[in-house]
Each structure stands twice: as C-alpha cells, then as structure tokens.
Chains A and B, each alone.
Chain A
Amino acid sequence: DAKTTQPPSMDCAEGRAANLPCNHSTISGNEYVYWYRQIHSQGPQYIIHGLKNNETNEMASLIITEDRKSSTLILPHATLRDTAVYYCIVLSGSARQLTFGSGTQLTVLP
C-alpha cells in the first residue's frame, strides 16, 4: 500500500473550516484513500473514503486531486469536539489491513 505524508499538527478556529492535507504520491490506480480520526482516549473512528471522485457525508468532505497524488479532508464547521488525531490511509480495494501513520493532531481553538 502507498505511503502517506501528513503535517504533524494543525490548529483551526471553532466554526471555521478545517482543511487537512495528505500526500500520497505513490498511490496506484486501485488504491482508495481512507480517513479515520482518534479522539483522546477513544478508538479510531471511520470518517470517509474515496477512489477518484470527491466524496461527502454527514461528517466531512474528501477532495482528491485529479492526479490522485494528494487529498484534503474538509470539516466544514469545526467544533471543539473535532479536536483529534486524523489519519490518512491508502489501501487497495482488496486489502483489509489498515496501516496507520502518525497522523495530524488537529486542535480546534475556541
């Protein structure tokens, strides 16, 4: 599975959009981009995933560049409860093993 690169930390003001970047320049054609987050003292939580097209659900939006070498997770109106470590993971459609990196610590500031 392709390796991902994320900034170690980011801050965001409450109520503003949080845009979390992820680089995955070695992604191959059958690999999906998954996002999970982990709030302190909890287990990771699935957020969203996509292959080529942009995706949106009740939690977030996922924007994947046309060349698929990078993506951005967007939390449209961040709240204090969105403070967490966000993990970007790339894996093939047949893979079942999530390989977590270090992720991005997002801190939402009041």
Chain B
Amino acid sequence: EAGVVQSPRYKIIEKKQPVAFWCNPISGHNTLYWYLQNLGQGPELLIRYENEEAVDDSQLPKDRFSAERLKGVDSTLKIQPAELGDSAVYLCASGLQGLSEQYFGPGTRLTVT
C-alpha cells in the first residue's frame, strides 16, 4: 500500500515569493492534516480536513497561508508571500475518520532566503 505522498521534497525560494506544497493521502483516508515542524521541535497542526471540509484551521495564519482539498482527496498548501520565518518542514498526514492514528508523509523542507 502506498503511503502519503508529498511533493516537492525540498524547496528553496526567496522571501516574498509564493510557494505551494502538494499532498496525496493514503487511498481511502478521508481525514487530511497539514503540520509545520521547526528545527528541533515537534510538529504543530496547521489545518485538518474531513473530506473536503476544513474542520480545524484555527492554527493556520490566514493572512499568508491557504489550503484547499477540492475533491476530498489530494490537497495543496500555499504560502504567499513567504517570509524568512516560514523556513521549516511541512508535513502532511492522513487518517480514517473517527480514528486518531495518523500516517505521515516525508514532508517538504522549505528554505526561504
């Protein structure tokens, strides 16, 4: 069974540029999560989807971050414009509705210069 797929794995951009990350969850998983992980810290939730609905986006900085999951399958997280402090690893995870186990992708390492 294929795991959670994320692309790109690495991205380097200059500040003020836009950037987008893509995630394809495990087939059949209707819950999708985006996390941010700073160096030396645990992941922090940005947004959680149940199918195509964002049910928890309280931690998403909405002035520059946006996310979508149009058909309830894959998802895109966007930052516009990026700031130096956005340099981090962005993790996507998926799971089955009603269960707390989450399955993580390898993440996208973003470097903003």
Contact = CB atoms under 8 A, between A and B. Distances in A.
11 contacts: A41-B106, A42-B107, A43-B4, A46-B102, A49-B101, A87-B42, A93-B100, A96-B31, A101-B42, A102-B40, A103-B42
A97 B49 CA distance: 11
Interface residues of B, number: 21
Contacts of B4: 43
Given A43-B4, A96-B48, A100-B44, A91 B100 contact: yes
A29 B43 CA distance: 26
B42 A43 contact: no
Interface SS of chain A: loop
B104 A43 contact: yes
Interface in B85-110: 91, 93, 95, 100-107
B110 to A, nearest CB: 14
Given A96-B48, A97-B56, A46 B103 contact: yes
A104 to B, nearest CB: 11
Nearest to B43: A100
Contacts of B54: none
A13 B101 CA distance: 29
